[in-house]
Amino acid sequence: ELVKTANGNVEAKVMCYYRRRDLSLEKPLVGALEEEQEREAEQLTEKERHQLRHRELFLSRQVETLPATHIRGKCSVTLLNETESLLSYLNKEDAFFYALVYDPQQKSLLADRGEIRVGQRYQAEVPPWTGLPAEGSEEVDSAQLETLVYSPVHGLTDRQLDQFLIVCRSVGTFARALDCSSSVKQPSLHMSAAAASRDVTLLHAMELLHRTGYDLARAVAALVPPGGPVLCRDEMEEWSASEANLFEEALEKYGKDFADIRQDFLPWKSLKNIVEYYYMWKTTDRYVQQKRVKAVEAESKLKQVYIPNYNNKGTGVLGGPEGATAGGRPCESCYTMNSGQWYAWGPAHMQCRLCQSCWTYWKKFGGLKYPTRLDSADVLGSERLPAGMASHRPHRCTVTNCGKEFKLKAHLAR
């Protein structure tokens, strides 16, 4: 989201994503990529698996505001689509995917609540059809599992049904006039009549007809039992104004995550109450007005901002003709000896360098373009020691008077 400040500068509110190398976890990471690779293991080469690890990001709920001048380019981050081939992410320019949410405070990973469970692993296995059941086989009677509350097969005409519904609404309006709490919430006759005309009254009328055998005289008499007229309320009437305001505040914060809304804002309401109220609230004028206000605000926001080309080559540029450096080491990623520009990479005493193409890949994806002796051990610290590594010959530091030893060459490079 682009925001223009009072002094005329443009700032961007951005959602933060973490790379695999940025994670600090208490338990070993088994990401969505590993699970998907099991499914497509035979289709992916070592290079493709290596580069796919750089395309996986981890969503966080962290939002930061940065100057627009810090923007270097545009990329797309989408939720991992399990019905799509993993290679499709490699074939797209600057495309990333995520499936897990990272909590930097708890140092934990959770599945994104917006996950759509599609794919083979979530499909039910339907057994082959064996034909119609034989006569005399045990079949469960649907009447034992269901309760019929209304049947369209009856002797009443449409006009008779409409007349009975009008009587039900009238009784509902009168019942609200007798009820003290309803007269406070709906002080006018129009509001009481509107509340009595909602679906809860219609459903009660149809159930009452069925219960009385579709006898209009008995059904009308049942509308006003000895205790007084029947008052049917839905969630729109049951909620107070303060509860409605709390719900709108929670919806603004959490969206349609009703479990979080109930836990943090409305613990005395059940999930059923909250969900039912939400879909009724969407039919109100208040919801329509809020939607219009948000649409106007969206129109007034900045849609785009001009970002000039970033020509600063940075401090890692190596000088010399055609980028040549002392020792003439090849690129640590692709092993080429020819490049229009060379960039220093890794610890200074290692004198490693990257060619222009691999340096661009490193800056974009945070890893080397091709699997190497350093990158295969995961220079960035997410490796796990093999079972026989304890007997492996250690790597000794080459710095004078250091003497430190490391089990992995990747640790020595750091």
Rounded CA gap, 49 and 120, in Å?
Answer: 21
Note the pLDDT of residue 36: 56
Query: At 398, is the secondary structure helix, strand, or coil?
Result: coil
Regions of the chain where pLDDT drops below 70: 25-42, 112-117, 133-143, 183-184, 308-315, 319-327, 372-414
The pTM of the full predicted model, rounded to 2 decimals, is 0.52
Q: How far apart are CA 344 and CA 124, in angstroms?
A: 53
Distance of alpha carbon 209 from alpha carbon 216, whole angstroms: 7
Residue type (1 letter), 54: H
Distance CA 204, CA 328 (A): 87
Q: For strands 76-79 and 95-103, give the pairing.
A: parallel
Cα–Cα distance between 288 and 281 in angstroms, integer?
10
**Can you say how many angstroms the Cα of residue 305 is from the centroid of all Cα atoms in its chain?**
27
Extract the tokens encoding 220. Answer: 């009308």
The pLDDT of residue 250: 92
Q: Summarize pLDDT for 210-235 with one digit per residue, the tens.
A: 999 999 999 999 998 888 888 888 88
Residues 83 and 66: their CA atoms lie apart, in Å, by 35
Q: What is the pLDDT of residue 394?
A: 53
Which residue matches tokens 């329509």? 288
Give the whole-angstrom CA distance, residue 2 versus residue 5: 10
Closest CA relative to residue 214, chosen from 159, 169, 163, 150:
150
HEC per residue, 248-314: HHHHHHHCCCHHHHHHHCCCCCCHHHHHHHHHHHCCCHHHHHHHHHHHHHHHHCECCCCCCCCCCCC
pLDDT of 146:
82
Q: How far are the Cα atoms of 16, 290, 305, 366, 371 from residue 93, in angstroms, in the given order?
A: 20, 38, 21, 15, 20
Q: Domains of the chain, with CATH numbers?
A: 2-119 (2.30.30.490), 145-233 (4.10.1240.50), 241-300 (1.10.10.60), 323-413 (no CATH)
Instruction: Read off the pLDDT of residues 154-189 as tens digits, 9 standing for 90 and up.
Output: 889 999 999 999 999 999 888 888 887 776 677 778
